[in-house]
Structure 1
Amino acid sequence: MQNTNPVASGQSLLKAELHVHIEGAAHPELVHRLAERHGKNLDAFMRDDGTYIWSDFTNFLACYDKVAAVICTPEDYADLTEDYLLRNADEGCFYTEFFLSPDHVALMGMSYDNLLEGISEGYERAKAKSSAQGFPLEARFIVTCLRHMGPEAAIDVARRVAARPHPLVTGFGMGGDERLYSQRAFAPAFTIAHDAGLACTTHAGEFGNPLSVIDALDHLPVARIGHGVRSVEDPDLVRRLVDEAIVLEVCPHSNVALGLYPTLAEHPLPILIEAGVLTTLSSDDPPFFSTSVGKEYDEMAVANGWDRETMKGFTRRSLEAAFLDEATRAQLLDRLDRS
């Protein structure tokens, strides 16, 4: 897989991402505008150069919550959704899946319906603008429970989502602090969501060891694993991922920034690919980790000497694993084939 056809910048290589948290996608420029809108001070979590202030996983989560507190109305979520999708389109990303947290917006006094109102408006605005510019995009949303809020709260989230079907909400997942509870403890919530027709994913194998991935595969109806990179430490688990065609939502810059691996060159993605594991590329919480979906593609290509067709494979696997209706999936894959 030597780099005989380097990846070009911009929209020349179509991209897709399956793993980005909506509040974590808030660009500092947008956060400044929202802070001015609501008269909030950013000094507690943003430096003068626009970078967010955190030093380890625990206070990354705290910083995330502080940023999320600035995004507190449906209009804010509309602006955030539009802003991120258009930034992604500028880098050639034509399909994005966001993680949404009803528990986060509840802290801001917003309902799940308020959240749906905001993200739907932002999506429609972004889709209209990108289509007018000749680069139509698609997006879907995955509602997540927060692991550190516990299994009972997760059941409440799943029930709300199941009771309020929405055409853009196609999945259910779990984020939050992976060091708390077991995956198995959340099986009742996932069962509710899965029975309501939602495809499922969960964070595992990031700060949790390979056992966290095994726990998820044994007890949750998941087709994908968020991160999952520490599966590489268990050869039997790697074989299971291959045998069961489980897709990993890999976020290399996030893994390096949070200290899982020292550099991109030491990231285990090439080992997973060589073993036959289905992998995709995403940005997780991009401004927190000084990345973007375009940077993930470009820098992993350079770090590993991967050519354009290899990078196009990440987009193909993302679309094949996307929580999408088959008609839209076929249209996006056809567009990729023709690119």
Structure 2
Amino acid sequence: MPFETVAAQPPQEPSSGHRDLTALPKAHLHLHFTGSMRHGTLLELAERDGISLPDALVTEWPPTLSAADEKGWFRFQRLYDVARSVLRTEADVRRLVHEAAEDDQRDGGRWLEIQVDPSGYAAKFGGITAFTDLVLDAVAEASRDVGIGMAVVIAANRTRHPLDARTLARLAAQYADRGVVGFGLSNDERRGRTADFAPAFRIAERAGLLLAPHGGELLGPDSVRTCVEELHADRLGHGVRVAEDPALLDRVVEKGIALELCPVSNVALGVYSDLTSVPLPELMAAGAQIALGADDPLLFGSRLGAQYATMRAAHELTDEQLASLARSSIHASRADDATKAGLLTEIDAWLGRMPG
């Protein structure tokens, strides 16, 4: 059955002469599981269990981050691992998923594909299969309660052995008709050889799953090329630096490979110096299919709606251009055709309203 869309909140038109971005229907295709946690939830769960958090996650939040070198990425990963450690019960997992759905709905999100590596939680939750069952049940529950469509992308970790990725690909294939819609590859793209993960992606491809590896953020166009040629990517996690190779960009556009752009995290990690340097206009002008995403709001302090707002301000985007980005996010999602059609109609309705 198609997901039935609902209004996130009664639209409150701003007085800026622009339409309200929180009322713009959109899909969120790049959101990591632990990284979706609310900061307040992190503090509450840590206090409950007596977990000492680093200042970067308490008094200095959101943390100052950089991934310009291995040390910077290690600090980022360490903070992520600390945050993951507060998830200790089934109720914690359900709360995280429910709150992620609420936050997206508040920002105009109507469809969410949340990305998770079950192996990172298996030890506490009875193994990768048991944890996947829990996440999928939590996703189904949150989708019903909050009123947005939701699905799961299972992602392997490129810092682990490619054989581990094959195990996760088989797991994803097992759940291909039960809420898992895609298979990804995350963590520092400078680590390991991306091509070594091709056998895992072939498993997912045979199961009909969307293929969405990270690439083209910390590394340049060569990383994108490998994801396209070796992993047969349908979407690219980030992919923003494909703008540095016009011929490759044309190829990505021709193949209909969507880019999951996360501008705030790009700047936070030092990929670009500021938001005006993120090459969104160039990518849009080339005809790229783009879905803006928040990546890890817990670490970057910025959720889905802020990606649209910051790009509007940085590049003086019109409401028509923002609506085009929202349409791209819907087209690039794994929502069913009826759901997509309904959301696209909602976007047209948003554009039909007078701006404030």
Does the TM-score normalized on the shorter chain lie above 0.5? yes
Which residue is equivalent to 2:134?
A: 118
Decide whether the 8 Å contact of 1:225 with 1:249 is kept in 2: yes
1:42 aligns with 2:58: no
Closer/same/farther in 2, CA of residues 231 and 326 from structure 1, 3 Å limit: same
Task: Find the aligned partners of 1:174 and 1:15 in 2 and give their Cα distance.
Answer: 24
Task: Find the aligned partners of 2:193 and 2:17 in 1 and give their Cα distance.
Answer: 44
Decide whether the 8 Å contact of 1:72 with 1:105 is kept in 2: no
Decide whether the 8 Å contact of 2:211 with 2:232 is kept in 1: yes
Q: Pick the aligned partner of 1:78 from 90, 94, 108.
A: 94
1:192 aligns with 2:203: yes
Which residue is equivalent to 2:69?
A: none
The alignment of Structure 1 onto Structure 2 pairs a total of residues equal to: 330
Closer/same/farther in 2, CA of residues 111 and 335 from structure 1, 3 Å limit: farther
Task: Find the aligned partners of 1:117 and 1:220 in 2 and give their Cα distance.
Answer: 26
Q: Pick the aligned partner of 1:249 from 243, 260, 265.
A: 260
Which residue is equivalent to 1:302?
A: 313
Letter in structure 2 aligned against 1:70 = V
Which residue is equivalent to 2:20?
A: 8
Q: CA deviation at 1:20?
A: 0.7
Task: Find the aligned partners of 1:275 and 1:5 in 2 and give their Cα distance.
Answer: 28
Paired residues for 1:159-308 under 5 Å:
159-308=170-319
Task: Find the aligned partners of 1:50 and 1:205 in 2 and give their Cα distance.
Answer: 27
Q: Pick the aligned partner of 1:145 from 144, 156, 166.
A: 156
1:94 aligns with 2:110: yes
Q: CA deviation at 1:49?
A: 5.6
SS in 2 for 1:149: coil
CA displacement 1:300-337 (0-9 Å, x = unmatched):
11111112121111111111111233333333333333
CA displacement 1:194-237 (0-9 Å, x = unmatched):
11121111101011221111111111122111111111111221
Task: Find the aligned partners of 1:212 and 1:9 in 2 and give their Cα distance.
Answer: 33
1:326 aligns with 2:342: no
Task: Find the aligned partners of 1:313 and 1:110 in 2 and give their Cα distance.
Answer: 43
- Runs of 4+ that moved beyond 6 A: none
RMSD, matched Cα: 2.1
SS in 2 for 1:32: helix
Closer/same/farther in 2, CA of residues 73 and 111 from structure 1, 3 Å limit: farther
Q: CA deviation at 1:239?
A: 1.5
Task: Find the aligned partners of 1:50 and 1:253 in 2 and give their Cα distance.
Answer: 15
Task: Find the aligned partners of 1:156 and 1:293 in 2 and give their Cα distance.
Answer: 31
For structure 2, the 5+ residue unaligned runs are 1-15, 67-71, 351-356
Task: Find the aligned partners of 2:191 and 2:231 in 1 and give their Cα distance.
Answer: 16
Decide whether the 8 Å contact of 2:140 with 2:150 is kept in 1: no
For structure 1, the 5+ residue unaligned runs are 131-135
Decide whether the 8 Å contact of 2:111 with 2:335 is kept in 1: no
Decide whether the 8 Å contact of 1:91 with 1:294 is kept in 2: yes
Closer/same/farther in 2, CA of residues 45 and 66 from structure 1, 3 Å limit: farther
CA displacement 1:236-289 (0-9 Å, x = unmatched):
211111221211100000100000111101111111111222212111011211
SS in 2 for 1:106: coil
Closer/same/farther in 2, CA of residues 305 and 311 from structure 1, 3 Å limit: same
Decide whether the 8 Å contact of 2:308 with 2:322 is kept in 1: yes
Q: Which moved more, 1:137-146 or 1:318-327?
A: 318-327
Q: CA deviation at 1:52?
A: 4.3
Task: Find the aligned partners of 1:276 and 1:336 in 2 and give their Cα distance.
Answer: 19
SS in 2 for 1:148: coil
Identity %: 32
Q: CA deviation at 1:161?
A: 2.2
Which residue is equivalent to 2:353?
A: none
Letter in structure 1 aligned against 2:244 = E
1:28 aligns with 2:47: no
